[in-house]
């Protein structure tokens, strides 16, 4: 019997989860609405909101799982990568909790946890598999050889895919986070309405900054001729941008699958909630005979269930850290 408490605080969601023998029993997420009016996450405000939210969020996760605090066998927490002040709140809480309860402490890499979210429920991928991890801060193609043995095959050289969605949304006057809104408008639009460039980046790396500039110039040009341009063309703009981001991502994933010969293909991270990406991946999987793994919506964006499941797999290996552990804003896979 192993009961793990997972804590996530790397960006703007405070989350706590209880995992019992590899099964998620609760996953409570306190989203910080405060950032929307600033058009992006303000680190200092995020840290303060984590401080306010962390205790009630953990208490609620324990209550929903119907366990008592004293039954918890270990606490796992996001050590990095993320905003240092935000990570510090979760790390300090986890350390105090482990000390007070006299239980082991388990550090988790947030990007590994996004991938390990695929082990929360069936069907689970088998090793080795490829994972395209796409979030607000990262865009990576990872060869996953084992739970904690991951090789980075490619990554973005500038903006992350989530950033490309969010920065485009800003140009289109949509609030933060823009990804879900672009997704919504794209459903009504024509993806071929605007031709946007596909960057020619060697290997398995990505670049999104040229796309952002192309959209900026397109919108500025059109607004000069027609001040109502955005209002009348929002759906077509969103559909065109989304379809280009998706094609950039999937063309590289296809290349990685070809080069490695791996046929279990997964996506993870906030942008894996995108309906265009999910649909196109399913179609590509059928065409190339892949087994495709797409997370449930609640496990795409930041959550503590993925931290708890990753913690469970480290607990089985007795892979613990001491009280001297410190958060890391930059942390490799
Ligand atoms: O993984 P995540 O919650 O946080 C990070 O670790 O960064 O990812 C957040 C990102 C944001 O950029 C957000 O706009 C994007 O995921 N996102 C989406 C969708 N839902 C969230 N992007 C496109 N379509 C969506 N449906
Ligand atoms: Zn994330």
pTM of the model: 0.96
Q: One digit per residue, pLDDT tens: the chain, 333 residues? A: 899 999 999 999 999 999 999 999 999 999 888 888 787 889 989 999 999 999 999 999 999 999 999 999 999 999 999 999 999 999 999 999 999 999 999 999 999 999 999 999 999 999 999 999 999 999 999 999 999 999 999 999 999 999 999 999 999 999 989 999 999 999 999 999 999 999 999 999 999 999 999 999 999 999 999 999 999 999 999 999 999 999 999 999 999 999 999 999 999 999 999 999 999 999 999 999 999 999 999 999 999 999 999 999 999 999 999 999 999 999 999
User: Which ligand is located closest to the Cα atom of residue 160?
Assistant: 1
Same domain, 188 and 288: yes
Same domain, 108 and 163: no
End-to-end CA distance of the chain: 29
* pLDDT, position 310: 98
Question: 275, 242 in Cβ contact below 8 A?
Answer: no
Same domain, 135 and 284: yes
Give the chain's radius of gyration (CA, Å): 20
Say if 80 falls within a structural domain.
yes
CATH code: domain of residue 8: 3.30.420.40
User: Which ligand is located closest to the Cα atom of residue 277?
Assistant: 1
DSSP 127: S
Measured CA to CA, the distance from residue 183 to residue 186 in angstroms comes to 5
* pLDDT, position 34: 82
- Does 183 show up as a binding residue in the annotation? yes
Same domain, 91 and 21: yes
Q: Which residues line ligand 1 (CB under 6 A)?
A: 11, 135-137, 162, 165-166, 177-180, 183, 269-271, 273-274, 301-302
Same domain, 132 and 228: yes
- Does 107 show up as a binding residue in the annotation? no
Peptide bond between residue 123 and the one before it cis (omega within 30 degrees of 0): yes
Say if 161 falls within a structural domain.
yes
Peptide bond between residue 81 and the one before it cis (omega within 30 degrees of 0): yes
3-state helix, strand, coil in the chain (%, to 5): 50, 20, 30
Domain count for the chain, please give it: 2
- Give me the interface pTM, i.e. the ipTM: 0.98
* pLDDT, position 302: 96
Question: 258, 130 in Cβ contact below 8 A?
Answer: no
Three-point CA angle 283, 276, 293, nearest 5°: 55
Same domain, 271 and 306: no
Three-point CA angle 18, 30, 109, nearest 5°: 60
* Structural tokens at position 289: 């005979």
Domain span at residue 10 reads 3-115+300-316
Sign for the pseudo-dihedral over CA of 249, 252, 256, 262: positive
Measured CA to CA, the distance from residue 301 to residue 282 in angstroms comes to 20
Say if 331 falls within a structural domain.
no
Same domain, 27 and 146: no
Say if 207 falls within a structural domain.
yes
Q: What are phi and psi of 152, to 5 degrees?
A: -80, 115
Say if 272 falls within a structural domain.
yes
- Listing DSSP states for 99-118 in one string gives HHHT--EEEEEHHHHHHHGG
Residues with beta carbon < 5 A to ion ligand 2? Answer: 135, 302
Say if 95 falls within a structural domain.
yes
């Amino acid at each position: 019997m192993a009961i793990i408490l997972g804590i996530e605080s790397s960006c703007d969601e405070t989350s706590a989860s209880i995992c019992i023998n590899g099964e998620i029993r609760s996953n409570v997420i306190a989203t910080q609405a405060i950032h929307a009016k600033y058009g992006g996450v303000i680190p200092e405000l995020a840290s303060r909101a984590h401080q306010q939210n962390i205790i009630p969020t953990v208490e609620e996760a324990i209550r929903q799982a119907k366990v008592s605090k004293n039954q918890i066998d270990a606490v796992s927490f996001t050590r990095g990568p993320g905003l240092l002040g935000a990570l510090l709140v979760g790390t300090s809480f986890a350390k105090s909790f482990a000390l007070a309860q006299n239980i082991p402490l388990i550090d988790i890499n947030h990007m590994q946890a996004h991938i390990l979210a695929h082990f929360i429920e069936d069907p689970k991928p088998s090793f080795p598999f490829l994972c395209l991890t796409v979030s607000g801060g990262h865009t990576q193609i990872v060869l996953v050889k084992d739970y904690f043995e991951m090789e980075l095959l490619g990554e973005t050289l500038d903006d992350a895919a989530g950033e490309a969605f969010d920065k485009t949304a800003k140009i289109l006057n949509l609030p933060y986070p823009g990804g879900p809104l672009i997704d919504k408008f794209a459903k009504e639009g024509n993806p071929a309405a605007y031709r946007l460039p596909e960057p020619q980046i060697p290997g398995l790396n990505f670049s999104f900054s040229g796309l952002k500039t192309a959209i900026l110039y397109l919108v500025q040009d059109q607004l000069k001729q027609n001040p109502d341009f955005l209002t009348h063309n929002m759906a077509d703009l969103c559909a065109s941008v989304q379809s280009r981001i998706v094609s950039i991502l999937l063309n590289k994933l296809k290349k990685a699958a070809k080069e490695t010969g791996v046929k279990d293909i997964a996506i993870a991270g906030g942008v894996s909630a995108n309906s265009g990406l999910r649909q196109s991946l399913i179609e590509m999987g059928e065409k190339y005979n892949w087994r495709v793994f797409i997370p449930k919506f609640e496990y795409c964006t930041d959550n503590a269930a993925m931290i708890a499941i990753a913690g469970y797999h480290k607990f089985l290996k007795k892979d613990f850290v001491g009280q001297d552990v410190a958060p890391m804003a930059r942390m490799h896979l």
